[in-house]
Amino acid sequence: MTDRDLVDFGAVRGKTCMVTGASDGIGFAAASALASAGAEVVLVVRDEGRGRAAADRIRAAHAGAHIALELCDVSSQAQIRALGTRYEASGRPLHVLVNNAGCWNTTRKQSVDGIELTWATNMLGYFVLTRVVEPVLRRCAPGRVVSVGSGLAEGLDLDDINFVRRPWGRIRPGVAAYAQTSQARRMWTYALARRLGDAGVTANVMNPNNTRTGAFKKGGGVLGWLVHYGNLFVSESAEHGADTAVWLAANGGIDGVTGKYWEKRKEQHCPFRDTVREDELWAVCERMTAPSEGRVQVAV
């Protein structure tokens, strides 16, 4: 990050930012950059040890950084709701939410809620967390929701969200399941921006591009290793990958800009803009996350 960035990023000085998946990769880099810009940063992590290590690394790199830790597996709706309740009860402010925690899985897995894990994490994790902290964001407005998306985006099938009818893929296992969540994250962001309307809270989604992180190795299987080692030569650092998310979270020059898709700090054309389909997606997410017996199993 340059001196110019730190000036541009003054919008978060003294503000509170929550970053999911902050123990590693792009989320860690974003949390670190926001802390260096003077924000108080809440790291949302699923593993306490990795979370503490991340917090220590940020404190060591940025003297005086204000870092808090929240434990939450964002593929579990109950854990996200518990986080929301804790956060509301703490009375802490929230000005920026960076939705970032995500996964790709070469074998099909299910979340504790019985939902295909990629969708449960990458889409419903964003949907539920944003919902539970939205009242705090509105109270503390102006605020921003920044969501990390992906360029690998296609194939959203609202009738087979859980990948029951479609093959998981032999040559590229789990890639189609991942790509549908990337399409959905964008469409959901556009719907969220409309719903937040004039609340003073913006919603934008960005593509980090090909970034050198552990995501591919964690995906498992031969393909995971191949992409991981291939990426070492062609991809960018986590800091580069996080840059546009940090810029969207912290740059004072984009106050009020909402409902857009970004790459390298530039707005990009997105082929998935369709308010009717966006609202259908929203309704599906609502049904899949309705508490207890109200939940409808969508095409499982």
Ligand X SMILES: NC(=O)c1ccc[n+]([C@@H]2O[C@H](COP(=O)([O-])OP(=O)(O)OC[C@H]3O[C@@H](n4cnc5c(N)ncnc54)[C@H](OP(=O)(O)O)[C@@H]3O)[C@@H](O)[C@H]2O)c1
Q: Which is nearer to ligand X, 144 or 185 (CB)?
A: 185
Q: Which of residues 34-53 bind ligand X (CB under 6 A)?
A: 46-47, 50
Q: Which is nearer to ligand X, 1 or 141 (CB)?
A: 1
Q: Does 116 bind ligand X (CB under 6 A)?
A: no
Q: Which of residues 230-289 bind ligand X (CB under 6 A)?
A: 235
Total binding residues toward ligand X, as defined by CB under 6 A: 28
Q: 148 near 100, Cβ under 8 Å?
A: yes
Q: Does 148 bind ligand X (CB under 6 A)?
A: yes
Residue 210 CB, shortest distance to ligand X, in Å, is 5
Amino acid at 146: V
Residue 248 CB, shortest distance to ligand X, in Å, is 14
Q: How far apart are the C-alpha atoms of 18 and 27, rounded to whole Å?
A: 10
Binding residue for ligand X (CB under 6 A) from 15, 21, 144, 228? 21
Q: Does 84 bind ligand X (CB under 6 A)?
A: no
Longest dimension (CA), the chain: 53
Cis bond before residue 93 (omega within 30° of 0): no
Q: Which is nearer to ligand X, 222 or 232 (CB)?
A: 232
Q: Does 26 bind ligand X (CB under 6 A)?
A: yes
Q: Does 224 bind ligand X (CB under 6 A)?
A: no
Site of tokens 């189609």 = 176
Write the burial class of residue 297 (CB in 10 Å: 0-12 exposed, 13-18 middle, 19+ buried). Answer: exposed
Q: Does 67 bind ligand X (CB under 6 A)?
A: no
Look at strands 266-267 and 201-207 and give their pairing: unpaired
Q: 281 near 187, Cβ under 8 Å?
A: yes
CA 13 to chain centre: 22
Conformation bin of residue 213: beta by default, left when phi > 0, alpha when psi is -120 to 50: beta
Q: Does 189 bind ligand X (CB under 6 A)?
A: no
Residue 144 CB, shortest distance to ligand X, in Å, is 17
Residue 162 CB, shortest distance to ligand X, in Å, is 17
- Mask 196-215, x = binds ligand X (CB under 6 A)? ------------x-xx-xxx
Q: How far apart are the C-alpha atoms of 95 and 69, rounded to whole Å?
A: 16
Q: Which is nearer to ligand X, 137 or 148 (CB)?
A: 148
Q: Which is nearer to ligand X, 16 or 111 (CB)?
A: 111
Name, in order, each residue with C-beta under 8 angstroms of 254's C-beta and a sequence gap of 6 or more: 247, 248
Neighbouring C-beta atoms of residue 270, cutoff 10 Å = 18
Site for ligand X, rule CB under 6 A: 21, 23-27, 46-47, 50, 73-75, 100-103, 121-122, 148, 150, 208, 210-211, 213-215, 218, 235
